[in-house]
């Protein structure tokens, strides 16, 4: 039977998927109930609970060799389809950790009491990235329940530190001895190009995340006794931060753009990309409904081909109710840059540090610390794996997938690319307006079901060579 099916997903598998969607939703809600906020230093127990819950879900589906692998940080959860000799083996990656839920007051439903609202699911991490974990689990369930086996061998790797730049993932890579045996790697994280426009990513931006700390005195001072004659840490901070970008949207750090690769061919395709600026703008909920940014570039160019710099957080002095006339002694900011090939996070950090220290007034002690960094990466869309993914997307969604790029950073893409001999793809299903790092994170059921179908289709297509040889 298998030899005759070619690229068409067997009817029993697709029927099973259609009939068992509620099981997927249940499993996904169960996982999302656990506040696996990897950035929170208090989250150890929740991370452990989440990794155990995930391992239980995997075992219940009949996966083999399910293990919770310790690292110096949060664990990696591993497992594999019951191994079938002679079939190629692919790795599937997703992550079970989530962003912090702040600001809490923005949520319409509690972030860790996930719930279905109309045709979508809501909760912190439900889109980024727990739905992508579930897509693989659902495909496993369907294949094992109907055909008793998956068309290829899959090794699942679910990480617990993606949201903190995969800090300890290199430890897992170092202790894993089967990477060379892989036929390819599917990284499941990220978004569609449009709400209804499937896409395959051709690259990710890198990241440099820093914290800036300023001290002008040992104590906050009373502005009555000191106002007008002493330094103010908040003022030093605003002076430094306001110097980082020009009114033209250009980042003013010397050398910042030196290593940005020009991509004239890809750039020329962007104007006709099936991407709706209107839809993207709708998702941003801007106060003035107009994009801003570096002069001379379109919105898509700014997001995919150009690096960016943003203040992510600010704090200083008194922020409670009512007036308090202090002159703040300390002030701080979190800042980050999205990087594009071939910018190197360490070189960019050196430039930011030099610039910040140069802008700092002589009366302020300024410290800048690198919190995390990851390299940008480009992904070849013409490998056999990428071509199979494009066919799976097309047959599931009934529309040709676009070639996109992730404005975000997926550090494992760079880490895995440099270790693997086989091709890697970044296969993502969230809508662009999923509020991934904001309140009211959401995953439409349409995207979840399409993701499950695509994964099942992709495995089937990848097994085709083996079946044709039978």
User: Which residues, numbered 69-88, are part of the site for a second copy (CB under 8 A)?
Assistant: none
Using the minimum distance from each CB to a second copy, give the nearer residue, 132 or 391.
Answer: 132
Is residue 207 within the footprint of a second copy (CB under 8 A)? yes
Contact with a second copy (CB under 8 A) among 67, 116, 222, 358: 222
Shortest spacing between CB 1 and a second copy, in angstroms: 43
Taking Cα atoms as reference points, which of 204, 209, 426 lies closest to residue 304? Answer: 204
Pairing of strands 206-215, 365-374: antiparallel
Instruction: Based on the shown chain and the rule CB under 8 A, indicate whether residue 313 belongs to the binding site for a second copy.
Output: yes
Strand 206-215 to 330-339 pairing: antiparallel
Q: Is 315 in the site for a second copy (CB under 8 A)?
A: yes
Rank residues 90 and 192 by Cβ distance to a second copy and give the closer one.
192
Position 287 contacts a second copy (CB under 8 A) = yes
Binding of residue 294 to a second copy (CB under 8 A): yes
Residue 223 interacting with a second copy (CB under 8 A): yes
Cα angle 135, 372, 266 (rounded to 5 degrees) comes to: 65
Q: Report the site for a second copy in 425-464 (rule: CB under 8 A).
A: 432, 435-440
Q: What's the N-to-C CA distance of the chain in angstroms?
A: 10
Chain CA centroid to CA 212, Å = 24
All residues at 6 or more sequence positions from 222 whose CB lies less than 8 Å from its CB, including other chains: 325, 326, 327
- Select the span of 4-12, 25-33, 101-109, 145-153 touching a second copy (CB under 8 A): 101-109
Task: Specify the stretch interacting with a second copy by CB under 8 A; choose among 172-180, 331-339, 382-390, 443-451.
Answer: 331-339
Which of 109, 213, 235, 384 forms a contact with a second copy (CB under 8 A)?
A: 235
Does residue 323 belong to the site contacting a second copy (CB under 8 A)?
yes
Q: Please identify which residue in 325, 383, 384, 465 interacts with a second copy, judged by CB under 8 A.
A: 325
- Shortest approach of a second copy to residue 170 CB, angstroms? 17
Q: Closest approach of Cβ 11 to a second copy, in Å? A: 37
The dihedrals phi and psi of 447, each to the nearest 5 degrees, come to -70, -40
Give me the least distance between CB of 341 and a second copy, in Å please. 15
Q: Which part of the chain contacts a second copy (CB under 8 A), choosing from 6-14, 32-40, 80-88, 418-426?
A: 32-40
Which of 128, 151, 91, 158 has its CA nearest to residue 442? 128
CB of 371 to a second copy, least distance (A): 5
The CA distances from residue 466 to 152, 153, 189, 217, 388, in Å, are 8, 11, 28, 70, 14
Residue 109 binds a second copy (CB under 8 A): no
Which C-beta is closer to a second copy: that of 226 or that of 446? 226
Characterize 327-359 residue by residue with b for buried, 16 or more Cβ atoms within 10 angstroms of its Cβ, and e for exposed. bbbbbbbebbbbbbbebbbebbbebbbebbeeb
3-state SS, residue 64: strand
Shortest spacing between CB 13 and a second copy, in angstroms = 33
Angle of helix 44-60 relative to helix 21-32, nearest 10 degrees, comes to 160
- Interface residue with a second copy among 66, 94, 364, 462 (CB under 8 A) is 364
Residue (231 or 453) nearer to a second copy, CB:
231
Does residue 165 bind a second copy (CB under 8 A)?
Answer: yes
DSSP structural state of residue 468: H
With contact defined as beta carbons under 8 Å apart, do 130 and 31 qualify?
yes
Q: Binders of a second copy among 372-411, rule CB under 8 A?
A: 372, 406-409
Our finding on whether 205 is near a second copy (CB under 8 A) is: yes
Which residue stretch of 80-88, 201-209, 382-390, 447-455 sits at the interface with a second copy (rule: CB under 8 A)? 201-209
Nearest distance, CB of residue 6 and a second copy, angstroms: 37
Please spell the DSSP secondary structure of 353-421, one letter per residue: HHHHHHHS-TT-EEEEEEEEEE--EE--TTSHHHHHHHHHHHHHHSSPPEEEEESS--HHHHHHHHH-S
Strands 326-327 and 221-222: antiparallel
How many residues interact with a second copy (rule CB under 8 A)? 103
Residue nearer to a second copy on the CB measure, 8 or 358: 358
292, 295, 346, 380: residue in contact with a second copy (rule CB under 8 A): 292
Token representation of residue 272: 């006709």
Distances (CA, A) of 164 to 97, 111, 167, 361, 373: 9, 19, 6, 32, 10
Which listed residue (5, 70, 109, 239) binds a second copy by CB under 8 A? 239
The residue within the footprint of a second copy, chosen from 52, 196, 334, 367 (CB under 8 A), is 334
Instruction: Tell me which of 320, 398, 421, 470 binds a second copy, using CB under 8 A.
Output: 320
Residue number with CB closer to a second copy (127 or 457): 127
User: Rounded to the nearest 5 degrees, what angle is found at the Cα of 188, between the Cα atoms of 182 and 190?
Assistant: 145
262 touches a second copy by CB under 8 A = no
Residue 201 engages a second copy in binding (rule: CB under 8 A): no
Residue 312 CA to its chain's centroid (Å): 16
């Amino acid at each position: 039977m298998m030899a005759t099916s070619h690229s068409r997903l067997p009817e029993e598998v697709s029927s099973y998927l259609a009939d068992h969607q509620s099981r997927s939703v249940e499993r996904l809600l169960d996982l999302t109930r656990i506040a696996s906020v990897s950035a929170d230093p208090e989250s150890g127990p929740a991370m452990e609970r989440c990794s155990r819950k995930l391992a239980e879900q995997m075992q219940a589906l009949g996966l083999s060799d399910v293990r919770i692998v310790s690292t110096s940080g949060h664990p990696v959860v591993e497992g594999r389809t019951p191994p079938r000799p002679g079939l190629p083996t692919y790795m599937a990656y997703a992550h079970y950790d989530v962003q912090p839920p702040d600001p809490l007051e923005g949520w319409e439903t509690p972030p860790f009491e996930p719930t279905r609202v109309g045709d979508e699911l809501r909760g912190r991490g439900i889109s980024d990235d727990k739905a992508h974990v579930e897509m693989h689990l659902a495909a496993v369930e369907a294949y094992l329940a109907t055909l008793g086996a998956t068309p290829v061998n899959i090794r699942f790797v679910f990480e617990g530190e993606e949201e903190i730049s995969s800090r300890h993932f290199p430890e897992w890579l170092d202790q894993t001895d089967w990477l060379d045996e892989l036929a390819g790697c599917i990284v499941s994280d990220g978004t569609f190009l449009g709400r209804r426009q499937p896409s395959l990513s051709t690259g990710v931006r890198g990241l440099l995340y820093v914290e800036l700390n300023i001290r002008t005195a040992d104590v906050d001072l009373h502005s009555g006794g000191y106002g007008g004659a002493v330094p103010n840490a908040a003022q030093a901070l605003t002076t430094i931060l306001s110097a980082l970008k020009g009114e033209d949207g250009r980042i003013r750090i010397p050398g910042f753009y030196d290593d940005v690769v020009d991509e004239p061919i890809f750039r020329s395709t962007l104007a006709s990309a099936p991407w709706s600026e209107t839809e993207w703008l709708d998702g941003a909920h801007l106060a003035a409904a107009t994009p801003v940014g570096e002069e001379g570039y379109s919105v898509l160019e700014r997001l995919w081909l150009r690096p960016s710099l943003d203040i992510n957080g600010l704090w200083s002095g008194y922020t409670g109710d009512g007036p308090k006339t202090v002159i703040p002694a300390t002030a701080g900011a979190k800042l980050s840059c999205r990087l594009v090939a071939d910018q190197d996070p360490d070189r960019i950090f050196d430039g930011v540090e030099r610039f910040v220290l140069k802008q700092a007034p002589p009366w302020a002690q300024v410290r800048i610390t690198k919190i995390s960094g990851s390299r940008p990466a480009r992904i070849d869309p013409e490998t056999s794996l990428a071509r199979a993914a494009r066919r799976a997307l097309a047959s599931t969604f009934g529309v040709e997938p676009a070639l996109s790029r992730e404005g975000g950073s997926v550090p494992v893409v760079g880490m895995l690319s440099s270790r693997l001999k086989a091709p890697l793809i970044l296969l993502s299903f969230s809508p662009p307006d999923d509020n991934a790092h904001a309140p009211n994170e959401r995953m439409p059921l349409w995207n979840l079901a399409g993701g499950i179908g695509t994964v099942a289709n992709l495995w089937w297509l990848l097994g085709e060579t083996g079946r044709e040889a039978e």
